[in-house]
Structure 1
Amino acid sequence: MAASSNDSNMRQRFKPPANAPKASDKQQQQQQQFRPQPPKTPPFQLNPRIAFAVLFAAHAAAALYHPIQDCDETFNYWEPTHYLTHGHGFQTWEYSPEYAIRSWAYVGLHALVTLPVKLLGLGKLAEFYFLRLVLGFVCALCEARLFSKINAALNPRIGLTFLLVMATSPGMWHASISYLPSSFAMYFVTLGIAGFMDWRGGLRTAQGIWMFGVAGTLGWPFAAALSAPFLLEEFSMGVLSDEEGMVKLFWRVVDGITRTLLIMFMQTMADAFFYKKTQIVPWNIVAYNIFSSKGGPDLYGTEPWHFYLRNLALNFHVWFLLALISMPLLVLQHTFRMKGNTRASYFRSITFLSPFYLWLAIFTLQPHKEERFMYPAYPALAVNAAVSLHIILGNVNSTDPKDFVARIPFQLRLGGLFLFCLASFVLSGLRIAGTITAYNAPLNVYKPLHNDSAISAAAKLDDFVCLGKEWYRFPSHYFLPEGVRAKFIKSEFSGLLPGEFSEAGSGFGLFPGAWLIPPGMNDENIEDVGKYTEVKHCTYIVDSQLPSTEATTLEPSYTNDEGTWERAGCQSFLDGFSTTVLGRTLWVPDLPFVPERMKRVWGEYCLLKRKRKASPERERVMGHAVRSMNMQQLLSVKAVPYVLLALAALALVVKYFQDKQHRSAARPRSPDPEKPTDVNTFAEKRMKDSERKLGTWTPSTFKRPEAVPYPDWSVIDTKPLPYRPFRWGPYHITMGLRSMNWDEWIELDNNYLRYHEDKARRIAERGAKCCRTDPDPKVWDAAVELLEELSAYLTERYPSMFTKTDVGIDNTVTNESFNIPELTMNGNKEDPMQLCARLVQDDLAIMIEKEDGQYYLLAGAILLAGFWRLEDKFGMCMSEIHTSGDVPGFKSKLEKGMMNFFRRVKPESPVLRNNYFMQVDDSLPWSHSIGSEDAQDGIGWYTAEKNRAIKHHFFRSERQSLRRLPRSGGVVFTIRTYFLPVTELAEEPYVPGRLASAVRSWGDDVAKYKGREQYQDVLLEFLDKKHEEQVAGGLDLSKEEEVRAYPW
């Protein structure tokens, strides 16, 4: 406590210049400037270990009971940690490698902390609370260190007040255990302040810089700004010192910066491991928040300038007021009394008090404000408040008869101090209790999934817990049993929700979700409808029922829908809109003497469970499964000999015709797809429904036969195959399937470069609107499997254009190199379906079976479809795709057979089908005659100009292949479109007459679907005329079947 000890520290800090006053003179100057009154007895000093115990006890209680206050904590930190430790979780756009403004090094460090609990098998909830307790433990250690340095460098009374603020303030109650970079930065800011404050045994500039550096790299970059006052003090002292002092200062600074750069290097290496490319995340954060040209963080809301004043008053009440007046009190103390009760010089005191003011000024000026942005400055606030109280107490305890306060009885002064401390304790307790009792329901509502034996037994793999309007209160997947997933359903919220980390399987290395670019992400908070799940797929729903909230179409009251949902568990939840400001701010007891208007108003926060009853669709599918199984058993017992004979006869017939036909451009004749077809005539065979559960697939060992190189294929000379898939009337609505020769899976011709150019242009212009893969790992694996299958097939079938590489495939014509493990084309990472699209002329779609037995379009590259858009159909089931497009006869003639076929198709049994359309413009990718591709409505044949000249009429012929992928079980459509003018088509023998007959034979529903009314007059007149010319020219109609057998 002697002044000389402080002076000794000052002497260690710098050497005075030769012409400076003597040390004794300078010492006297400092003592006169700021000397505390020597106490009669040594001041009480609390042992730092006891201080640590007090702090940790407070933080441990917060870890166990305090709710998560910010959805950013859940989705940006708890969920990525859950992905690292449990293989799945929600992913925000910040983790997309395109933006990379979140550090995997930071998340990975915390994931390692949870591993011991996971290895012990204590459950995910134990992992969650263990990590929270560890955060509280680390925070207490940092605070205890600063507490000990305050005792040594300033005054034990300041240390005690600092301890009181940190242990009892509502702000520290949640900041200490929040899993946020701002809390992490707060820990190291605390150590940084301690480092600059501790002069014993020499200056610790390097240590202080290092601690602030860790706060700014692994934590939050802006936290480094809090070091500015301390560095300014260092440089000021260096200027006043001699050359030796400047050299020592230089090397201390270099030491601190070197340590920081080492941490940043290790962080960058860790992030590069996850992102698969070099990312300096701290810089990315700064660039987004300061230099973003798209609105940056302001897109997520702005607040008035006084936001932080109100927020800090709530979280620190009287301590915040004391922190605000600390600098004025110090100035007044120095100016009018020339004495103080701290050991530090006036200059040092200003240094210690400046960080809080600096931080508050910087963030008050920012439009986007959030409570957590203040966390790094909380230790500085506590120091300021403690210094203020110390100055006030020094004057209150004055015994100088000249002071007015000395005339007040000591007991009265002591009583005032007691009331002040009591008020701080009461305000803190009421605020903390109010927050816990009002808002901790999200931490408790999921307990029935773990504790209630009936419900926890029912919760099973692939059950969905759906989040609508309560999405932002979801505490993370750590609160759900293993295998149960959270999903989003549409609510009134119209911003961008998190997606899901990819769970791609083998061949992708560790944590592919960290480096695979997720679909539908953007940094403009633009909604992506692909993030939503339909309510019908939800097993559970989390819903709130508040008196002030009215149900809407998008946010109905699921709680009141007792016919569908039953309550698995409900918790009381404060209705903030109906409760007064006092009730929202503090705990108000629900006792009779409390006025009704002052009481808190409550609602319910519920976990709802779907009542177990089979949906009509599921009953229909399962009923069909039973009937199919019975038929299979009947065949196996009574009809085996007949089936074997029939198959043998069919094999002989097929072999006979295969031997006679030429295997080049001419294709084998096939069953007529315009006639009703028995699926038992295909190469695909019935698969017993009992063999696998709906929505599951056991990988098959089937390997596609190696393709025979296409004879004399050339990207310049090989012409498109002349598919003419129409017949003389009548017209039949059928699936029209026929078996496929494996060599003929993908067809390429001399239009390849044109198609490739069209696709590349549309990928650049429309991106995910045309090419997209659902992030579900099962879907992603299917898309990658398709890419692998295409790469293998193309190098075999078209070796003059495609070359196999160690990592994928090269296109030697377009000079494109595809890396399958990294999902890149010429080094640029892309969606796997987009990469597939660049390889072939076809459009591509993958249908995935879900647990309802329906097949859903969850991966697609639809670039040249002409009449439909991927963004309209993505995520729809097969039935909805067809009914939403008013496909003729789907419900009455196609749906049942299509569902049966998709359920039973085997990997070894690919099929083909053909289709055709007329178009009255020359655009292959999109028929502009039916409306703009970007129009939300008003698209249809009714917008097309009627009876345009024949030169505008074009014929679209589609060749579709369908096959099941053996590893993932996805069913792949390839849709190859052939496009040519009708005027050119009509020159071919037999075609105009047959096409005219086919168009006339369409029923009214088909005619409407294909837009016949808009072009029939001109088209049919032209075709009839060309047919008459051919007949007049000697065309022998009796030989058509020999010349143009279907589908040619």
Structure 2
Amino acid sequence: MAASSNDSNMRQRFKPPANAPKATDKQQQQQQQYRPQPPKTPPFQLNPRIAFAVLFAAHAAAALYHPIQDCDETFNYWEPTHYLTHGHGFQTWEYSPEYAIRSWAYVGLHALVTLPVKVLGLGKSAEFYFLRLVLGFVCALCEARLFSKINAALNPRIGLTFLFVMASSPGMWHASISYLPSSFAMYFVTLGIAGFMDWRGGLRTAQGIWMFGIAGTLGWPFAAALSAPFLFEEFSMGVLSDGEGMVKLFWRVVDGITRTLLIMFVQTMADAFFYKKTQIVPWNIVAYNIFSSKGGPDLYGTEPWHFYLRNLSLNFHVWFLLALISMPLLVLQHTFRLKGNTRASYFRSITFLSPFYLWLAIFTLQPHKEERFMYPAYPALAVNAAISLHIILGNINSTDPKDFVAKIPFQLRLGGLLLFCLASFVLSGLRIAGTITAYKAPFNVYKPLHNDSATIGGAKLDDFVCLGKEWYRFPSHYFLPDGVRAKFIKSEFSGLLPGEFSEAGSGFGLFPGAWLIPPGMNDENIEDVGKYTEVKHCAFIVDSQLPSTETTTLEPSYASDEGTWERAGCQSFLDGFSTTVLGRTLWVPDLPFVPERVKRVWGEYCLLKRKRKASPERERLLSVKAVPYVLLGLASLTLIVKYFQDKQHRSAVRPRSPDPEKPTDVNTFAAKHMKDSERKPGTWTPSTFKRPEASPYPDWSVIDTKPLPYRPFRWGPYHITMGLRSMNWDEWIELDNHYLRYHEDKARRIAERGAKCCRTDPDPKVWDAAVELLEELSAYLTERYPSMFTKTAVGIDNTVTNESFNIPELTMNGNKEDPMQLCARLVQDDLAIMIEKDDGQYFLLAGAILLAGFWRLEDKFGMCMSEIHTSGDVPGFKSKLEKGMMNFFRRVKPESPVLRNNYFMQVDDSLPWSHSIGSEDAEDGIGWYTAEKNRAIKHHFFRSERQSLRRLPRSGGVLFTIRTYFLPVTEIAEEPYVPGRLASAVRSWGDDVAKYKGREQYQDVLLEFLDKKHEEQVAGGLDLSKEEEVRAYPW
């Protein structure tokens, strides 16, 4: 391949067969004429150790500064690694055992690398950067090995050019340290090329096949295609050699394949450990990408045929052009300037150049294109570019007086070469600098979260950092503090977002999230709304503000909402749509002499923190000049409020809910216009809100209307949250054909237990709240269930039970009763009213708890909300629920009712009280530990609670309605999908939840039964992929 007499030829390692055609006399004379003499001094060869140092220095810098370019890297590799090392993380559909097109062996290998840093306690970000540095180190080792083989087998000048390309190109800057199978494949493709290239001491076919085999199994299956030219060369040699050579080739191939199969076996065993079933992941990847009948990868976007030409031009600029022309240059070199090259060396050269062309052709033909798909071919591209430059330099350095180039002064030729290298280096530097400065924000914006929680930006345990339109730039949970989770909020994106790995606790073995089938996953990029969190639950939001971005309903400018959010930290971020092509492609300095149209246009990438409501004192002190007027206004308002309160107490008839048709008094006006943060704890100004009139329940019958089939459990993980959702007013009170049984149970318990179950504190404020509830129920029931309830002049009549309720006198059929007791007789729900006191705490001061099953009103009456939950050892209350509940109780408005669901298991058939946990009259000793363990399945019952929460507009009391649905497990297990999902839910309870719900006492019998029923359903043809269509939460 050499072009001049003073340039060393690429080494020939091919021995032609004995019967190969011999050169003619004329050819021999030409070869003798142009055969160069051995150089007096050996050509300069850079020590491979120095080459490694140069390469690793470049990759280390990339590891520390280069942003993640592909969200696939975050969600398919960093997040699963975070799950393995820290117990939680986002899960893509590819990791669902139903599809299994990602290898846990690959992820697990990388997770092991991070363990030393985790053990040292250096922090999660240190784990992230350490793994990146290790990837850069491994990449540099592989490149240094190929560099040394190029020096030995081709030419040291080709080696130096290869080194320059690999160390300086923008493409290698990010490919070398990307946590992607395509990068991993690139490492071993590099070693595979080195193996096939090095013939010293005999052919290394087995080593080459093995390296390409690792690239294709643990890495990316398609990378194995790059070995085709080398295998073709080996096969051609075998055909042209004698029989012994063919036999040796056969055993070398068998050796390489055997090593590869051994790697694949280890990988399959590792994946089987995680998926709990045998999965050959490389085949799954090939099947999905080639044989999928549902659209396959094309669902995620397609690109025109010239996509890779443009992309490689950005990532390798002039080197990509040289790589493209390498084959034509070789043909021209061989045709017109043979100069001693034999057919064997020509054939070898074609072999070395072919992998890049083959790879580019294959992936150009694919509609779905990604930048990372080119990574495995980057070493081949660099080899091609280096050979091209070698051919060009051979001609430039020619001393043949017949060549035109020889007439150009050597200094000018040398200057041109140096200018070319400098231009290449500058282009690479500008591209790399441009990328880092433009898109570094996602790496830096999360830093304030690690501040103390009392400072700006500091995050607390269980805070949510929400991602809307910027979800795809999330760099992973490695950038968030321990205990802080990222969540998605709805944006204009309408595809499938990642879910979360199950965090099921004891009883599931290691890493249950790897084998439990996650809900809402599909391979068709169909959106699952269950992946979203409401904005109100977000303590932080990461959002961008760019000049070219227009706000929408789903993508508002959160940073502009200064009343809700404050900037915890903002970084400059390139507005690609507003910046010119030059500014997007290269670094452009923001200097005065640079034309404005060329300069880059910037926006902001911000971490926003939810503001705390200002205290009344702070609001009052905002304007010192206004103090006298504020004091005068407050004094006047106090006198007016006192006047109306006195007037209300003097009234003989208890006031009803305000009518919005009537004029608004001062109290209600203040309530309407005063922010909740300005309300003094323990006070409430009646609201003008009036509940919308309920529409009659269609075809409702006390005999025929069945209970609604609430099944409020999900496939794991089990998350401890309030789980609130908005309530339609027509759904406030639900009655069905179990009404008479519930009514009978309640009447019996009222007669037997009286005030132990129904009680109202005598405080006038509390009493008013209970009466207000009675009024609300009377109005609602006559609207919603007119066939059963009739409105009267003084209250309501139940025409089915022949009960007449007089609200002003608080009687039922002439008998005076506690107002909460009267309420309890009307509905199937249990009822509780929480009243706020001067300290801001809410106390249970009115209740009718008749069918609770596991707790008694007499134990909780008079307690504040926190004490109620802590005395009952409610799991996660202090760490996960208390803050949210306190905020909810403080801020809930009369016009904004909500619903939530809950469920329990019970091992006896008593709805009002579960006798299995002890006597209802026992002073102590009540608990699951008294229950008989593993009773027969017929004794297992499913308790489902549907709770509504709303604020009563007149009194301000917060009302709970608790409707219990009680069914045998054997009955609900006959319903499609229920047994499998319930078994998963029960298994996913954490230790604290399992203890609270008594799982140890029934899990063996229950789970065995549910698993059997699930298997029967699946065997009977149950389509698991249709579950979300049939049984969406909470049904």
**TM norm structure 1:** 0.61
Deviation at 1:419, TM superposition (A): 1.1
Conserved in 1, the CA contact under 8 Å of 2:59 and 2:136?
yes
What is the SS of the residue equivalent to 2:259?
Answer: helix
CA contact (8 A) 1:673 1:737 kept: no
Describe the shift of the 1:789–1:481 C-alpha distance in structure 2 as closer, same or farther (beyond 3 A): farther
Q: Which moved more, 1:671-680 or 1:931-940?
A: 931-940
2:590 alignment partner, SS class: coil
Aligned counterparts of 1:41 and 1:1034: Cα–Cα separation in 2: 78
Q: Give 1:350's aligned residue.
A: 350
Task: Describe the shift of the 1:546–1:677 C-alpha distance in structure 2 as closer, same or farther (beyond 3 A).
Answer: closer
Contact 2:289 2:297 in 1 (8 A): yes
Instruction: Say if 1:885 and 1:267 are closer, same or farther in 2 by CA, change over 3 A.
Output: closer
Deviation at 1:694, TM superposition (A): 19
The structure-2 alpha-carbon separation of the partners of 1:116 and 1:953, relative to structure 1 and needing over 3 Å to count, comes to closer
Query: By how many angstroms is 1:762 displaced?
Result: 38
Across the two proteins, how many residue pairs are aligned to each other? 1035
Aligned CA distance change for structure 1 residues 838 and 20 (closer, same or farther; 3 Å): farther
Q: Is the 8 A contact 2:205 2:256 kept in 1?
A: yes
Deviation, structure 1 residue 587: 0.3
SS at match of 1:6: coil
Deviation of 1:175 (Å): 0.2
Q: Distance in 1 between matches of 2:978 and 2:143?
A: 87
- Cα distance in 1 for partners of 2:181, 2:715 equals 71
Task: Name the SS for the 2:5 alignment partner.
Answer: helix
1:842-862 per-position Cα deviation (integer Å, ceiling 9, x unaligned) = 999999999999999999999
Alignment check: 8 A CA contact 2:573 2:602 kept: yes
Shift of 1:561: 1.1
* CA distance in 2: counterparts of 1:567 and 1:344, whole angstroms: 67
Q: Alpha carbons of 1:608 and 1:46: their partners in 2 closer, same or farther (altered >3 Å)? A: same
8 A contact 2:451–2:457 mirrored in 1:
no
- CA–CA distance in 2 between the matches of 1:206 and 1:470? 47
Q: Distance in 2 between matches of 1:371 and 1:562?
A: 39
The alpha-carbon deviation at position 15 of structure 1 amounts to: 7.4
1: distance between equivalents of 2:19 and 2:1027? 116
CA positional deviation for 1:887: 28
C-alpha spacing 1:725/1:357, structure 2 compared with 1 (3 Å) = closer
Deviation at 1:956, TM superposition (A): 18
With over 3 angstroms needed to count, the CA separation of the structure-2 counterparts of 1:1006 and 1:178, relative to structure 1, is closer
Counterpart in 2 of 1:900?
Answer: 887
Pairwise CA distance, 1:401 = 0.9
Residues 208-247 of structure 1: CA distance to partner in whole angstroms, max 9, x if unpaired? 0000000000000000000000000010000011111111
Say if 1:390 and 1:674 are closer, same or farther in 2 by CA, change over 3 A: same
2:856 aligned to which of 869, 876, 879 = 869
Rate the CA distance shift 1:990–1:581 in 2: closer, same or farther, 3 A. Answer: closer
- Overall identity of the aligned pairs, in %: 96
Q: Is the 8 A contact 2:6 2:36 kept in 1?
A: no
Cα separation, partners in 2 of 1:618 and 1:330, compared to 1, 3 Å: farther
Which has the larger displacement, 79-88 or 405-414?
405-414
Offset of 1:458 from its aligned partner?
4.0
CA 1:986–1:364 in structure 2 vs 1: closer, same or farther (change >3 Å)?
Answer: closer
Q: Is the 8 A contact 1:670 1:738 kept in 2?
A: no
Give the CA deviation at 1:461.
1.3
- Deviation, structure 1 residue 404: 1.1
Q: Is the 8 A contact 1:682 1:738 kept in 2?
A: no
**Cα distance, 1:55 vs. partner?**
0.2
The structure-2 alpha-carbon separation of the partners of 1:795 and 1:100, relative to structure 1 and needing over 3 Å to count, comes to farther
Shift of 1:575: 0.3
Q: 1:245 to 1:961 in 2, by over 3 A?
A: same
CA contact (8 A) 2:671 2:685 kept: no
Q: 1:14 to 1:833 in 2, by over 3 A?
A: farther
> Which digits, 9 at most, give the CA deviation of each residue in 1:335-359, with x for residues without a partner?
1111378997000000000000000
Q: State the alpha-carbon separation in 1 of the partners of residues 53 and 492 from structure 2.
A: 46
- Matching residue of 2:15: 15
Summarize deviations over 1:820-868 as a string: whole Å, max 9, x none: 9999999999999999999999999999999999999999999999999
TM superposition score normalised by structure 2? 0.62
Give the 3-state SS of the residue equivalent to 1:666 in structure 2. Answer: coil
Q: How many angstroms does 1:455 deviate by? A: 3.9
For residue 478 of structure 1, report the CA deviation from its aligned partner: 0.3
Offset of residue 69 of structure 1? 0.2
Aligned residue for 1:963, secondary structure, equals: strand
Contact 1:921 1:954 in 2 (8 A): yes
Which deviates further from its counterpart, 214-223 or 921-930?
921-930
Assess if the C-alpha contact under 8 Å between 2:2 and 2:9 holds in 1. no
Q: 1:584 to 1:875 in 2, by over 3 A?
A: farther
CA contact (8 A) 2:614 2:677 kept: no
Q: 1:97 Cα deviation (Å)?
A: 0.4
SS at match of 2:986: helix
SS in 2 for 1:597: coil
Alpha-carbon offset, residue 613 of structure 1:
3.1
Question: CA–CA distance in 1 between the matches of 2:977 and 2:352?
Answer: 95
Question: Kindly tell me: are residues 1009 and 511 of structure 1, through their superposed partners in 2, closer, same or farther at Cα, counting changes over 3 Å?
Answer: closer
Q: CA 1:682/1:410 → structure 2, altered by over 3 Å: closer, same or farther?
A: closer
The separation in 2 between residues aligned to 1:678 and 1:755, in whole angstroms, is 42
Alpha carbons 2:847, 2:857 under 8 Å: kept:
yes
CA gap of 1:549–1:837, structure 2 versus 1, over 3 A, is farther
Worse-superposed segment, 702-711 or 951-960: 702-711
Q: For 2:673, what is the secondary structure of its paired residue?
A: coil
Distance of aligned partners of 1:175 and 1:617 in 2 relative to their CA distance in 1, 3 Å threshold: farther
Deviation at residue 317 of structure 1 after TM alignment: 0.2
2:457 and 2:569 in contact (8 A); partners too:
no
Deviates more, 1:816-825 or 1:878-887: 816-825
Contact 1:461–1:482 (8 Å) recurs in 2: yes
CA apart distance, 1:952: 35
In 2, the alpha carbon distance for the partners of 1:1043 and 1:536 equals 29
Stretch moving more, 983-992 or 155-164: 983-992
Q: Distance in 2 between matches of 1:517 and 1:156?
A: 54
Greater CA drift, 460-469 or 829-838: 829-838
- Does 44-53 or 31-40 show the bigger shift? 31-40
Partners in 1 of 2:715 and 2:144 — Cα distance? 91
3-state SS of the aligned residue for 1:735?
coil
**Contact 2:9/2:154 (8 A) holds in 1:** no
Deviation at 1:380, TM superposition (A): 0.1
CA distance in 2, matches of 1:260, 1:990: 41
CA distance in 2, matches of 1:784, 1:139: 75
Task: Name the CA shift for 1:272/1:322 in 2 (closer, same or farther; >3 Å).
Answer: same
Preserved contact between residue 946 and residue 964 of structure 2 (Cα < 8 Å): yes
Given candidates 676, 679, 696, the residue that maps to 2:683 is 696
* Residue in structure 2 matching 1:971, options 958, 975, 985: 958
Secondary structure of the 1:973 match is strand
Q: How far 1:560 sits from its partner (Å)? A: 1.2
1:286-331 superposed Cα distances (whole Å, 9 cap, x missing partner)? 0000000000000000000000000000000000000000000000
Q: Is the 8 A contact 1:728 1:995 kept in 2?
A: yes
Contact 2:212 2:227 in 1 (8 A): yes
Aligned to 2:42: 42
Q: 1:149 to 1:736 in 2, by over 3 A?
A: closer
**How far does the alpha carbon of each residue in 1:615-665 deviate from its partner, in whole angstroms, 9 at most, with x for none?**
99999xxxxxxxxxxxxx999999999999999999999999999999999
Q: Give the distance between the partners of 2:1018 and 2:223, measured in 1 at CA.
A: 87
Farther off after superposition, 730-739 or 295-304: 730-739
Q: Kindly state the Cα deviation for residue 786 of structure 1 after the two structures are TM-superposed.
A: 33
Q: What is the rounded CA distance, in whole Å, between the counterparts of 1:1036 and 1:226 in structure 2?
A: 40
Q: Does 1:325 align with 2:325?
A: yes
Q: Secondary structure at the match of 2:135?
A: helix
Report the aligned-residue RMSD: 22.1
Shift of 1:612: 2.1
**What is the SS of the residue equivalent to 2:960?**
strand
SS at match of 2:543: strand
Deviations 1:160-210 (A, max 9, x none): 000000000000000000000000000000000000000011110000000
Note if contact 1:702-1:966 (Cα within 8 Å) is conserved in structure 2.
Answer: yes
**Is the Cα contact below 8 Å between 2:907 and 2:941 reproduced in 1?**
yes
Is the CA contact 2:575–2:601 (under 8 Å) kept in the aligned structure 1?
yes
CA contact (8 A) 2:189 2:376 kept: yes
Q: CA deviation at 1:427?
A: 0.4
- Identify if the C-alpha distance between structure 1 residues 259 and 561 changes in structure 2 by more than 3 Å, giving closer, same or farther: same
Name the stretch that deviates more: 550-559 or 363-372.
550-559
* CA displacement 1:348-377 (0-9 Å, x = unmatched): 000000000000000000000000000000
The answer on whether the counterparts of 2:943 and 2:965 sit within 8 Å (CA) in structure 1 is yes
Deviations 1:890-919 (A, max 9, x none): 999999999999999999999999999999
Equivalent pair of 2:457/2:609 in contact (CA under 8 Å) = no
